[in-house]
Amino acid sequence: MPDCRLKVFRCDASKKREPRFDTFTVRVREGMTVQQALIAIQENEAPSLAFRYSCRGAVCGSCGVVINGKPDLACRVQVSRFDGEDIVIEPLPNLEIIKDLYVDMVPFWEKYEAVRPWLIARQNNSEKEQPQSMRERVIYDSGVNCVLCACCYGACPVLARDGRYLGPAALAKLFRFLGDSRDARGLSDLEHVNAETGLWGCDTILSCIDACPKDVRPTDGIAAARRRIVGMKVKSLLTRSSDGKERAQ
């Protein structure tokens, strides 16, 4: 198989040097991924090259980078896809670069934690399980597949202009639980996301859907969460109105 040429973004935030692209030639073997090519570069030519990886099987989400302009997981993209053209590898946007392809994920995780991405269970006096029907489960099923790679976060144009925005990954994960029939969140639990920096900040451009390597559709989750909040507000207003009429009588 022919060799491939990779142009890799290089930058060290601890040193006062201009960012640059270094070019490397890698001997391609059958089935080689971009991640394997980066490992070969690190082992043979540039031991200081910094990037993240772990599972190598598109499960952990740690190897998200931009490959020829598209956010993706380096471990799942094969070099042969590019048919001999140069492969340009850059860090994910909207995150501060620490070194080379290694970005600071702390803001991403802080925003993820802010939506409380866990089940807030309803009070159940019995100790029995709370079964779900297939119809109930399919409502939030897509969000379960998210591997928190931050590809959608890097692709989001809203985050590019407003770093306060919670981002598509966190908000899609919110609906994974908000859409769960066993979850007990109410309006008071959603005040922090019922804002322009939360659910109402999305421009619905669908960049996050295009970027997701696991076919999650964050925009759909955000839209569904918006509808759920509006429904909760309408129900609350109707309840108050009904209570007021009963008291008047």
Q: pLDDT digits over 134-162, tens only? A: 999 888 888 899 999 999 999 999 999 99
Residues 137 and 20 in one domain: no
Residues 150 and 188 in one domain: yes
- Does pTM top 0.85 for this prediction? yes
What is residue 51's predicted lDDT score, i.e. its pLDDT? 98
Confidence of residue 238 (pLDDT cuts 50, 70, 90): confident
Distance CA 40, CA 58 (A): 19
Instruction: Categorise residue 102: left if φ over 0, alpha if ψ from -120 to 50, beta otherwise.
Output: beta
Residues 146 and 185 in one domain: yes
Residues 209 and 224 in one domain: yes
Q: How far is CA 104 from CA 97, 131, 158, 191, in A?
A: 6, 39, 19, 27
* Domain edge (last residue) among 103, 129, 156: 103
Residues 135 and 77 in one domain: no
Number of domains observed in the structure of the chain: 2
Find the domain containing 210 and state its range.
106-240
CATH code of 165's domain:
1.10.1060.10
Confidence of residue 126 (pLDDT cuts 50, 70, 90): low
Residues 114 and 235 in one domain: yes
Confidence of residue 125 (pLDDT cuts 50, 70, 90): low
Residues 125 and 59 in one domain: no
Residues 117 and 140 in one domain: yes
